[in-house]
Structure 1
Amino acid sequence: MKIRSIVSCEKAVSAAISAVLLFGILVSVITLVNVQYIPEWKTSAEQSHMDDVFYDMAGMKNELDILSGYARTEPSTSLSVSVPIKMGGASLPMFSPEKTSGQLTVNEDDFGISIVGTTQGITRNSSSLLLDLGTVSYRSDNNYFVDQKYVYEGGALILAQDSFSLMRLGPQMDIRKTDNSSNISVELNVIDLSGPRRSISSNSIEEINFRTNGTDDLYWDGTLFTDMTMTIQTSYASSWASYLETLADDAGIDASDYSVSFNDTAVVFFLEGNSGDIKINVTKTFFDARLNLLS
């Protein structure tokens, strides 16, 4: 009887030790996955979601570019488009099912353009035509990947990350030499977004509705200017400065004929013609912008 009791006790102790060891291994595996692998998976998933947001915002810009072109040819016809934005994502089924979120805002940032052209003592300026143009922005709320902000302003799509900004897609702006390179043509179609400032935070899909509301022109009767100064009021001046420099260089403009300077709130682009040969053509397309029109 004593021998049987001892054997029974050893079996019980062995089973208990095995259970403890299995539990320890399980805890170690779970800890390893949570500490080492899930952060990497979540970082990759959040980065992938940022790519989705870029595609959505790029699609929005493309839609507005197309509608603005149509609005200029058929100003009496009103067209509208609704653009969905994927606000959240980066969930990992079974391991980490919660989603990240984002904030979508209409008319949050200040953006405007001022153009001044001079020739033979005559000065023309754009006055208030290109001021208060409106913006659309998306700001992420990531847990692992660095937070990013996409801003649509004046027809350009800008990526802001920490204190840096980069123009991912350029506006409808062109600088080129014309008339056998004797003249410089500056053409710009500006997108004007009007509507109440509104913001929404979500991890689902939200929608922005845009409706064309006419066009306007900066009509200067084909005047040739000796120089032009363009001042852009923006929170992302460095990205605009880089874009304008690239635009002038690609047009073959001599470095001595233009300059670009900027600070935290504005960028100034100065262009000088050789003999009063700068043509300026500016149009503006109006859009009514509404966030979640049906809500």
Structure 2
Amino acid sequence: MKANTRTAQRLRPHKIWDDDGVASTVGTIMAMMVFLAALSMFTSQYVPVWMEENEASHMSAAYGQFAALKQAVDMQILAGTIQGSSPVQMFSPVKLGAEGIPMFAAPTPGYLSVYRSDSYNNVSFSFNTSAAVLNHTANAGGTIKLYVPNRYFIPQTLAYEGDTLILKQSDGEYMKAMPQFIVTRIGLDSYTISYTQVDLRGDDSNYVGFGTRGIQTTLRAVTTTTFNNLTDEIGPGNPAKNPYLYFNQTTWYERAWNSSFNQTLSAAGMVYGTPAQLAAGTVDYTIVSTLRPNNDPIDDFYEVSVRINPNVVSRFTLTVAYVEVSTAEMGAA
């Protein structure tokens, strides 16, 4: 008789797969990947384009505001000349920086500065009187400057100095608004010249940020003098022993000033030459640019000297305007 035996068997656990849970996890991961890809595309493609448009739009607006500032000063000079009274006040807003994109790109700040001695303009010449040869010298200076270190658009500087509007960027300097320097030919070798100096006065100031600053200009005085008797004789009041009608501009924007002077004089028909040719009397004018020492390791500071043969100038009219500059935040008391 056989014994009744049982074979013990181990019970293995039965795995139950939840297909819905797997699909949910995979779907979440895919959604996150799509979101991150879209976010990456937005930040790497769309944000730079958006910010470039913001910065370009701001520079366009700032240029318009600086043009309005020059126009305001020109209108003050005109009003002061016609009315013969001062002071005449005008107000010009300037927006410092460009708007950013919330959470994605910070705004771009701007640096606004007003410097009494950042540039210097000198006019000097000798003229005959009934008694003797005398020298006349007029000095002016000052610069209002906005520098915007754009990160997506081209970094640019706008400067108002010597009644000009200058744009500076990496590829050069451009005089967007010329000075009041008018040369007219009235004969075979005879010219009339009129020139306006603007002397900016007030305390030096610097501002950085994104808001809007107000620039108030006050015309304190304006004088206009006409000379019909320029000479190349050197009078006792001419310490530089300069026999020419002499314009001297110290500036950070040498190429803009040099080009402006040369363009105006040559367009009127004057003949350009070297200093030696001018001394010999074979040309009408020369322009010499000299590098001046400064503490800026990047930008160069120049002296642009224009020398004109006074014997070809039948009449010279010089206007000097004294303008006080003050700044304040828009809305501030």
Fold-level match, TM-score > 0.5?
Answer: yes
Structure 1 residue 73, shift from structure 2 partner: 1.8
Structure 1 residue 288, shift from structure 2 partner: 1.1
- Cα RMSD, aligned residues only: 2.5
Matched residue, 1:10: 19
Unaligned runs of 5+ in 1: none
Query: Which stretch has the larger CA shift, 183-192 or 108-117?
Result: 108-117
**Number of residue pairs matched by the alignment:** 285
Asked if structure 2 preserves the Cα contact closer than 8 Å seen for 1:71 and 1:77, the reply is yes
Matched residue, 2:52: 43
Instruction: Choose which of 308, 312, 329 in structure 2 pairs with 1:271.
Output: 308
Structure 1 residue 105, shift from structure 2 partner: 1.2
Instruction: Choose which of 185, 192, 195 in structure 2 pairs with 1:185.
Output: 192
Instruction: Choose which of 76, 82, 90 in structure 1 pairs with 2:85.
Output: 76
Structure 1 residue 232, shift from structure 2 partner: 1.2
Instruction: Choose which of 175, 178, 201 in structure 2 pairs with 1:167.
Output: 175
Distance 1:194 1:108, change over 3 A: closer
Matching of residues 69-148 of structure 1 within 5 Å? 69-92=78-101, 96=104, 98-107=106-115, 110-118=118-126, 122=133, 124-126=135-137, 129-131=138-140, 133-148=141-156
- Per the normalisation by structure 2, the TM-score is 0.78
Structure 1 residue 290, shift from structure 2 partner: 0.2
Instruction: Choose which of 248, 265, 290 in structure 1 pairs with 2:265.
Output: 248
Aligned equivalents of 2:117, 2:166: Cα separation in 1: 12
Asked if structure 1 preserves the Cα contact closer than 8 Å seen for 2:193 and 2:313, the reply is no
Pairing 1:257–2:284 present: yes
Aligned equivalents of 2:149, 2:288: Cα separation in 1: 33
Asked if structure 1 preserves the Cα contact closer than 8 Å seen for 2:226 and 2:318, the reply is no
Instruction: Choose which of 211, 221, 231 in structure 2 pairs with 1:225.
Output: 231
Aligned equivalents of 2:217, 2:226: Cα separation in 1: 29
Matched residue, 2:9: none
Structure 2 residue identity aligned to 1:267: V
Asked if structure 2 preserves the Cα contact closer than 8 Å seen for 1:48 and 1:90, the reply is no
Structure 2 residue identity aligned to 1:230: F
Distance 1:276 1:141, change over 3 A: closer
Structure 1 residue 118, shift from structure 2 partner: 4.7
Aligned equivalents of 1:284, 1:81: Cα separation in 2: 18
Structure 1 residue identity aligned to 2:304: V
- 3-state SS of the aligned residue for 1:35? helix
Structure 2 residue identity aligned to 1:272: N
- Per the normalisation by structure 1, the TM-score is 0.87
Structure 1 residue 123, shift from structure 2 partner: 6.1
Pairing 1:52–2:61 present: yes
Asked if structure 2 preserves the Cα contact closer than 8 Å seen for 1:159 and 1:166, the reply is yes
Aligned equivalents of 1:277, 1:245: Cα separation in 2: 16
- 3-state SS of the aligned residue for 1:134? strand
Instruction: Choose which of 228, 249, 253 in structure 2 pairs with 1:236.
Output: 253
Asked if structure 2 preserves the Cα contact closer than 8 Å seen for 1:191 and 1:284, the reply is yes
- 3-state SS of the aligned residue for 2:139? coil
The sequence identity of aligned pairs, in percent, is 18
Asked if structure 2 preserves the Cα contact closer than 8 Å seen for 1:237 and 1:263, the reply is no
- 3-state SS of the aligned residue for 1:263? strand
